[in-house]
Amino acid sequence: MKDKIFHSIEGHTCGNPVRMIIKGAPKLKGNSMSDYRNYFIKNFDWIRTSLMFEPRGHDMMSGSILYPALNKKCDVGILFIETTGCLPMCGHGFIGTITFALEKKIIKPKRIGIVVAETPAGIVTAEYKKVGNKIKSVKFKNIESWLEIKNFQANLPEIGKVKFDVAYGGNFYAIFDPQEGFGSLNKMTAADVLRISPKVRDEINKLIKPIHPFNKNIKGVTHIMWTGKAKLKNSSSRNAVFYGKNAIDRSPCGTGTSARLAQLHAKGKLKIKEKFVHESILGTQFVGRVESEIIFNNKKAIIPSVEGWSVITGESKFIISKSDPFYKGFSII
């Protein structure tokens, strides 16, 4: 293999890293970004692991790769890459990608103020606010989100007999509201989240098998959301999302916020258009809303919106050589 060179824009969304690859992307086959995702996973996953894990990345790294949109209605195609895999959709990654691409003039939207992006999970529309040369915020309407399983009861490692909900917002989330057993996020440390979450997720996936009705490649609970009382006066709720092998989302989590909105609305705790300010473990915030109710696969669902901000921190050039014993990356955790 000849040396492969990748160029990226580096930054973060509300504290969670985003590495957007702008040069070096492999040619993919298919008729949609979902096809592209499947082809990438089968043939180029080493690119993801190389750019996300050490020594070029770290266990919390996430990013995206830009492609020309396959759908003519869209301005850009986005493939999401993380330590956890090649996700169908990533909310914080989406906000960061749109911000970086606009500020660097990599994409030119068909309509000022709006970007229509094709993702493996479907078409996602974003509205952005620009002040001078900077993107102040990005608000996106996410794909169909819904409450998949309500009040599932199980005896789980370290926390005992508890109830949780499973909701979809681009990925399947097990959502734990405050209760006896684990108490709430406010009684947990980051170390607790990292220790307990993988055990809980493994057990949950033995008990239930959620699967997307129209995309069989999206299946299983991949993310765990712990919730608690907000610390900031203008926040509605606090959360910590565990994903991958050893990662806690530093942002409030975009697809997680979408899943949370779907859960709360289905339980009658959040009205249409009602403002929901989601607080991260860092204290950063996303603003979420239930934009509308829909029927999806014969069940009630919502179209959620999520708004947040991102910052560019630098640019990078990576050289990947097969002579490097760690060209595929590594993790010691």
Residue with tokens 């705790």: 269
d(CA 39, CA 35): 6
The pLDDT tens digits for 106-144 are: 999 999 999 999 999 889 999 999 999 999 999 999 989
Residue scoring higher pLDDT (63 or 246):
63
pTM, two decimals, is 0.92
Give the pLDDT of residue 121.
87
> Of these residues, 14, 74, 86, 90, which one is catalytic?
90
| Residue 282 confidence (pLDDT) above 90 | yes
Mean pLDDT, residues 65-71 taken together = 96
- Supply the pLDDT for residue 244: 85
What Å distances lie between residue 255 and 43, 109, 303, 304, 321, CA to CA? 26, 23, 12, 10, 34
Tell me the per-residue pLDDT of 197-215, one tens digit each, with 9 for 90 and over.
Answer: 999 999 999 999 999 999 8
Domain annotation for the chain: domains and CATH numbers: 4-142+311-320 (3.10.310.10), 146-307 (3.10.310.10)
Q: Which is catalytic among the residues 14, 74, 86, 253?
A: 253
Mean predicted lDDT score pLDDT of the chain:
96
Instruction: Mark residue 154 as left, alpha or beta (left: phi above 0; alpha: psi -120 to 50; beta: remaining).
Output: beta
Q: Is the pLDDT of residue 1 over 80?
A: no
51: enclosing H helix or E strand: helix 45-52
Q: Average pLDDT for residues 72-92, to the nearest whole number?
A: 94
Active site annotation includes 86: no
Which DSSP helix (H) or strand (E) runs through 226? strand 221-228
Q: In the annotation, is 14 catalytic?
A: no
Local confidence band at 50 (pLDDT 50, 70, 90 cut-offs): very high
